[in-house]
A = this chain, B = another copy of it.
Amino acid sequence: MDDSLLRSCYEGGVTQAARSRLGVDERRKQLLDLALELFGNRSYDEISIDEIAKEAGISKGLLYHYFPSKRAFFVAAVEAAAERLLESTEVETQGEVPTLDEMREGVTRYLDYVDRHARNYLLLVRGGDGVDEEVRGIVDRTRLAFLERVRAAAALLPKSPEVDITLRGYIGYVETVSLEWVEHKRLTRDALADLIVRQCIALFSTVQL
């Protein structure tokens, strides 16, 4: 067998697969953008599979190829909101633990996400009509991911029940102030980021070592 033919077949196959894979990923991303827009703005029951397919400009059959049900489409939207929030708020730390500036940068990015995607954030932290165990699982895992980030930042603190419960409380506090802020905007983003960093430190400074 001709080696170069084999190689060109193989490479052709790879290229084709890569191209079609890219198409699939791209389509999936577009569908998730649409899902975030639809479920972010209206209730679960108000949105039909027919409407989703129409908005996406694809057949119901193709839509079902990507997401087997409206429920699956909704869950994927919540998952996407969670991933995007986690990704967009990741700050690279220069030292072992983040500096105050790095902490503030992380909080600032978090508030930027809340500001730009307020309805998706709401979908994530407050749930909605479509909330069930699966969605709660996504939300809980997202909270845990943030909690572990904060734990890593507070590396000097012991792993104790007091620290654990304070970490949870801090996440609940951040979600509440973010929702309140984005609704009324009575502080600038930077003033709130400063306040959150100060209050984070204040909370953990009370933990008994």
Of B168, B180, B198, B207, which contacts A165 at CB under 8 A?
B180
Produce 1/0 per residue, A168-195, CB < 8 A to B. 1111111111001100001100011001
Q: Tell me whether A177 and B168 are in contact in the complex, defined as CB-CB below 8 angstroms, given that A198-B206, A203-B202, A206-B195 are known contacts.
A: yes
> A166 contacts which of B170, B191, B195 (Cβ < 8 Å)?
B195
- Tell me the count of chain A residues lying within 8 A, CB to CB, of chain B: 33
Shortest distance from the beta carbon of A41 to any chain B beta carbon, whole Å: 16
Residues on the B chain within 8 Å of A170, using CB: 173
Find chain B residues with CB under 8 A from A199 CB: 166, 169, 202-203, 206
Which of chain B's residues have a CB closer than 8 A to the CB of A195?
162, 165-166, 206-207
Selected contact of A173 from candidates B169, B181, B192, B198, CB within 8 Å: B169
Quick check: A202 and B206 within 8 Å, CB to CB?
Answer: yes
- Say yes or no: A176 contacts B180, CB within 8 Å: no
A91 to B195, CA, bound (A): 30
The minimal Cβ–Cβ distance linking A137 to chain B, given in whole angstroms, is: 14
List chain B residues, Cβ under 8 A from A131. 127, 129
Q: What residues of chain B lie closer than 8 Å to A198, measured between beta carbons?
A: 206
Q: Separation in Å of the A184 CB from the closest CB of chain B? A: 8
**Which of A164, A173, A175, A201 has the largest count of B CB atoms less than 10 A from its CB?**
A173
Given the complex of chains A and B, what is the CA–CA distance between A28 and B17 in angstroms?
67
10 shortest interchain CB distances as A-B pairs: A172-B176, A161-B186, A173-B173, A202-B202, A169-B177, A198-B206, A169-B173, A168-B180, A172-B172, A202-B206
A-B contacts, 6 of them at CB < 8 A, read A162-B195, A165-B186, A172-B172, A199-B206, A202-B202, A203-B203
A positions within 8 Å CB-CB of B: 127, 129, 131, 161-162, 164-166, 168-177, 180-181, 186-187, 191-192, 195, 198-199, 201-203, 205-207
